[in-house]
Amino acid sequence: MPRRDPTEVAGDPDELDVRSARRGDREQPPRQRRSFGLALVTDGEVTSTHHLLTQPPQELNWFDAVNTSLHGISAETVAGQPPFATQLARILALIGDRPVTAHNAAFDIGALRQGCVADHLDWPDLTYACSLVMARRAGLQLLSYRLPMVCQALGVTPGRHHDAGDDAAAAAGIVLALGARQQMSKLPDLAASLMVRLGTLTGASWVGCIASMVPTQRPAADLDADPHHPLYGKLVAFTGGLSVTRAEASALVAALGATPQAGPNKHTDFLVIGDGFSGHDLADFHTGKALAAAIANAKKAHIEVLTEGDLLEMLAEPVTRGERAPQPV
């Protein structure tokens, strides 16, 4: 029998669109898949990758110019492709009963749930890990935990960023590399060693993949926020122009249990950089507005840099568990 690997299936979260988080205090903005990316892992190696384009469910069938410029998928690209339900069934058949991994799984699994609801499909049964959550828990002390940065730190070949299959393979490589560092060959053992709770999705409910240690210090923010959310108990600073006002951005993170700051200091956990900062070029993290964080980290601080897009993805999933709402008769 082949050895069980830390991750046996990896999915890609990047081929997704998200509408602005300004839609409401707790309302989750619509997300949808343009494509599925999957990498299968056997005996510690990626043995195959799959990239399937799909037509999103009708109520989610819109295209945002900014996201299209990132992943290159437009209405013309998916014209004539199989519908969401068909491609999801193909992906689930490949997955079988194996666990899955995605980089920023909260956003990815959220999009999967929304697509199923929009297409009147049952939520599939999945156990999943988040390579982003695991990387943050692994003591890498990175300036950013975006996929290319984590790949570079762990010696993983990132492939073509925003290509669904390549990003899935990169997510698999990250978890395999973390497994080697922790000397863990099984995903549950790796998660436990990093104090990470694996996520689960069933037909009626879901529980997110999170760092399992709940902050002991309560933030001067919304005390009813989910204490497992990655923003809960954190200090968040902003720099540069955002698509929302600074007051609106501060209110959004405070609603999830974070404390907004007037500016970054040695205690800051997240620095959100606006002015169109994309984080695609690794050199950008050592110049401009990110330079202050790099200098602070060199002095033993630990500030993680976020793009506005990174922040929107964190805001898109305000809770780490939930139940499917009943469908109208």
Domain co-membership, 248 together with 134: no
pLDDT digits (tens, 9 = 90+) for 16-47: 333 333 222 333 444 545 778 899 998 888 99
DSSP string, 273-325: E-TT----SGGGGGSGGGHHHHHHHHTT---EEEEHHHHHHHHH---SEEEPP
- Domain boundary among the residues 155, 178, 212 is at 212
Cα–Cα dist 91/34, whole Å: 14
In a domain, 1, yes or no: no
DSSP string, 199-267: EEE-SSEEE--EESPPPSSPPSS-TTS-TTSTTTT-EEEEES--SS-HHHHHHHHHTTT-EE-SS--TT
Output the pLDDT for position 77. Answer: 59
Instruction: Write out the H or E segment, with its range, that includes residue 89.
Output: helix 84-95
pLDDT class for 11, splitting at 50, 70, 90? Answer: low
Domain co-membership, 157 together with 280: no
Instruction: Write out the H or E segment, with its range, that includes residue 9.
Output: strand 9-11
CATH number of the domain that residue 184 is part of: 3.30.420.10
In a domain, 45, yes or no: yes
Going by C-beta distance under 8 Å and a sequence separation of 6 or more, which residues neighbour residue 198?
99, 127, 128, 129, 187, 188, 191, 209
Per-position b or e across 57-93, b if 16+ CB within 10 A of its CB: beebeebeeebbebbebeeeebeebeebeebbeebee
In a domain, 174, yes or no: yes
Pick the more confident residue, 326 or 71: 326
CATH number of the domain that residue 286 is part of: 3.40.50.10190
pLDDT class for 74, splitting at 50, 70, 90? Answer: low
Tokens 């949808």 found at: 32
pLDDT class for 59, splitting at 50, 70, 90? Answer: low
Cα–Cα dist 115/121, whole Å: 8
Dihedral over Cα of 66, 71, 76, 79: its sign: negative
- Token reading at 185: 């060959």
Domain co-membership, 184 together with 284: no
Domain co-membership, 19 together with 133: yes
Domain span at 255: 235-316
- Percent of the chain at pLDDT > 70 equals 80
Nearest residue to 47 (alpha-carbon basis) of 55, 38, 56, 60: 38
Output the pLDDT for position 118. Answer: 87
Output the pLDDT for position 21. Answer: 30
Give residue 72's region: left, alpha or beta (phi > 0; psi -120 to 50): left
What is the SS3 assignment for 185? coil
In a domain, 193, yes or no: yes
pLDDT digits (tens, 9 = 90+) for 277-286: 887 777 777 7
Mean pLDDT, rounded, of the chain: 81
What is the SS3 assignment for 1? coil
In a domain, 323, yes or no: no
pLDDT digits (tens, 9 = 90+) for 199-246: 999 999 999 999 986 554 444 678 789 999 999 999 999 888 888 888
Output the pLDDT for position 67. Answer: 57
In a domain, 223, yes or no: no
C-beta separation of 172 from 93 below 8 A: no
What is the SS3 assignment for 93? helix
Output the pLDDT for position 248. Answer: 87
In a domain, 325, yes or no: no
Helix axes 308-316, 105-118, angle to 10 degrees: 50
| Total count of domains within the chain | 2
Domain co-membership, 88 together with 175: yes
Nearest residue to 109 (alpha-carbon basis) of 313, 328, 252, 327: 313
Cα–Cα dist 104/88, whole Å: 19
Of 27-36, 62-71, 152-161, 290-299, which range is least confident? 62-71
In a domain, 116, yes or no: yes
Rg over alpha carbons for the chain, rounded to the nearest Å, is 19
Distance set, CA 189 to CA 10, 28, 128, 198, 202 (Å): 17, 32, 13, 10, 22
Ranges of H-type helices in 96-186: 105-118, 131-137, 147-154, 164-182
Domain co-membership, 161 together with 274: no
Domain co-membership, 170 together with 116: yes
Domain co-membership, 28 together with 167: yes
